[in-house]
Amino acid sequence: MHRWIAVFCVLLMQVACATVPANVATVIQPPSTRIALSTDTLKVLSLNIAHGRKDGSNQLLLSGTTIRNNLDAIASVLGQSGADIIALQEGDAASRWSGNFDHIAVLAARANYPAVVHTTHARSWLYNYGTAILSQASFTETLNYTFEPSPPTLNKGFTLAQIVWQPHGQNEAPVLLDIVSVHLDFSRKQVRERQVEEISRVFDGRENPLIVLGDFNSDWLADERVVRALANDNDLQVYRPTADDLGTYPSGNKRLDWILISDTLEFIRYEVLPDVLSDHKAVIAEIGFKGHTSSIETSMKNHAAHPANHHDGKP
């Protein structure tokens, strides 16, 4: 019931509010942020933070104090997770409907993540939100993309951040790794299918190992042309795709939130966290590097030949 109340409110606001062009990315990287992640395994986490409303029906019905308290609870879990990289969806910049302050900046500061990239895919006088990535290491490239509009639902999209990873220590050549935080449409399967096709077109030609995290609003079996299609089209693997004990959406225990990785990577550990932080549960995975890929020097040459630094919008 809460989900459909929220859907109704969103549809009303879509009609009432004139949406202005979005796809604006904010990147924060203090000079002190370390350049590379030198870890044998990489720990990544994904969470749809639901505009700070926790499990409430709509953020418009909550006070700014309540939303800040909800974000404090999220920041506590993020900080204690030990994740190197965090992907967030439904993350608000300053928005009237959710306290009029930057939720992503607050979470990054309180959970102690120095590098931040935040893309707003939907924006009006009332709301301003999208996808984000928090990192313990600097970004060497960022890319932000908003899908083709899908009225009456609000715009969705993804944020990509490239990082340097040294999975075998500082004595071995580092690799470039693409991290993606994505949010697909909730209302229609055909829209999600089209959005997955857009993702694959943007990824085409990028040679880095890839980790895609986010809210797909799709499970493996019911929407076989969404998560499965993205995996097949981009040579990505999924942890136990047909498992019935990894639900992330408490209403019906559906598995809507996923982590997909390139075949040069491997899942060491995968877990759905029990904390009630929003209407979704967080997913966390520990990932190892198992295969050969281009060194950072080779990857840099490829990117020089096909530049894509801070790409905005459509390819």
pLDDT the model gives residue 173: 81
Task: Give the pLDDT score at 24.
Answer: 82
Residue-by-residue DSSP string for 93-115: SS-GGGTSS-HHHHHHHHHT--E
What is the rounded (10 degree) CA torsion for 143, 249, 10, 197? Answer: 40
Which domain, by its residues, includes 171? 2-9+23-312
The token pair at 185 is: 């449409």
Q: What is the pLDDT of residue 315?
A: 40
CATH number of domain containing 207: 3.60.10.10
For residue 198, being part of any structural domain is answered with: yes
Q: Can you tell me the distance from the alpha carbon of 31 to that of 232, in angstroms, rounded to the nearest whole number?
A: 39
From 135, 100, 121, select the one nearest 24 (Cα to Cα): 121
Domain-embedded: residue 176: yes
What total of structural domains would you count in the chain? 1
Q: What is the pLDDT along the chain (315 residues), one digit of tens a residue?
A: 455 455 545 554 554 444 555 678 899 999 999 999 999 999 999 999 999 999 998 999 999 999 999 999 999 999 999 999 999 999 999 999 999 999 999 999 999 999 999 999 999 999 999 999 999 999 999 999 999 999 999 999 999 999 999 998 766 788 999 999 999 999 999 999 999 999 999 999 899 999 999 999 998 876 668 999 999 999 999 999 999 999 999 877 899 999 999 999 999 999 999 999 999 999 999 999 986 544 444 444 444 444 444 445 544
Q: Report yes or no on 14 lying in a domain.
A: no
Angstrom distance (rounded) from CA 257 to CA 283:
7
Give a yes or no: residue 193 inside a domain: yes
Residue 246 lies in a domain: yes
Query: 59 in a domain, yes or no?
Result: yes
Q: Do 265 and 285 touch, CB atoms closer than 8 A?
A: no
pLDDT at 250: 83
Is 18 within the bounds of a domain? no
- Nearest CA to 241 among 226, 261, 220, 259? 220
Is 203 contained in some domain? yes
